[in-house]
Amino acid sequence: MYDFSYAKPAALAQAVQALGDPEAKALAGGMTFIPVLKQRLNKPSVIVDLAGLGLSGIRVEGGALIIGAMTTHGEVAASADVKAAIPAVAALAGHIGDRQVRYRGTLGGSLANNDPSACYPAAVLALAATIHTNKRTIAADAFFQGMFTTALEADELITAVSFPIPRRAAYAKFANPASRYAMVGVFVAQTDAAVRVAVTGAGQNGVFRHEAMEAALATSFTAAALEGVTTPVDLMSSDIHGSAEYRAHLVMVMARKAVEEAKGK
């Protein structure tokens, strides 16, 4: 790891100011960022630790589940409020990485990084969540802009995420057995207005909405309704863990599983 200076501001304004330095980087839980630093894939001069900003916490308010950006996966997984409001989010958080990763990794860190195989982006996109930052609110549809790319500006920090509570939802993940990242993860959510389906792990451009599946499920929210819906193979990523064809097939398998699970609740 290259060396860096370390700052742990106690207020959001100070953190934002510190991140005005173009060589500064924010540190949330560090479960991805510290490995990135260890591989010398990034060389910040200053690390701005966000742990002192009081950005963690969970509450339900006005038909939405609001989770602070620094809330850990473990806290989300164990939260009675999350389990009651959107159990699929609690279940998703409880299967990220391993116990030790879940104690440190955060919602905000996961979203800001937008790893193409991360689980949370699928929930945020399928649930049409709103990302709150120190500057503005960003709709999920506008937030994710391709792998490792988001709408966030350099000195913009996620403060919280607001998830509208759906009628029912579920997430099905086919985890890479070594890394536990999603080889394919499908999050299905049904609200009074619509059905949304978001796919992570599979797309060449990171998380995406599967509109053909959304249309089919809007007609009938059953696994059978997905029959004949195709997933374009040329949009899938292909690597040593699975070919594009394999991933396209897994998208259907996981989508069916997610619909069945959502209906079962």
Partner 1 sequence: MPIKRNKGERTMPAISLTVNQKTVHGEVEGRTLLVQFLRDNVGLTGTHIGCDTSQCGACVVTVDGKSVKSCTMLAVQANGADVLTIEGLSGPDGALHPMQAMFKEHHALQCGYCTPGMIMSAIDLVETHPQGLSEAQIRAGLEGNICRCTGYHNIVKAIAAAWPLMHGAPTAQAAE
Which chain residues interact with partner 1 by CB under 8 A?
Answer: 1-9, 14, 27, 30-31, 34-35, 37-38, 45-47, 49, 51, 74, 97-101, 103-104, 178-180
Considering the complex, state which of residue 178 and residue 224 has its C-beta at the smaller distance from partner 1: 178
Minimum distance, C-beta of residue 233 to partner 1, in the bound complex (Å):
31
Minimum distance, C-beta of residue 6 to partner 1, in the bound complex (Å):
4
DSSP string covering the chain: ----EEE--SSHHHHHHHTTSTTEEEESS-TTHHHHHHTTS---SEEEE-TTS----EEEETTEEEEETT-BHHHHHH-HHHHHH-HHHHHHHTTSS-HHHHHH-BHHHHHHHT-TT-SHHHHHHHTT-EEEESS-EEEHHHHB-STT-BS--TT--EEEEEEEPPSEEEEEEEE-TTT--EEEEEEEEE-SS-EEEEEESSBTTSSEE-HHHHHHHHH--SGGGGTT----GGGB--BTTB-HHHHHHHHHHHHHHHHHHHHH-
Considering the complex, state which of residue 23 and residue 153 has its C-beta at the smaller distance from partner 1: 23
Minimum distance, C-beta of residue 20 to partner 1, in the bound complex (Å):
14
Considering the complex, state which of residue 78 and residue 165 has its C-beta at the smaller distance from partner 1: 78
Considering the complex, state which of residue 37 and residue 88 has its C-beta at the smaller distance from partner 1: 37
Considering the complex, state which of residue 9 and residue 201 has its C-beta at the smaller distance from partner 1: 9
Minimum distance, C-beta of residue 102 to partner 1, in the bound complex (Å):
9
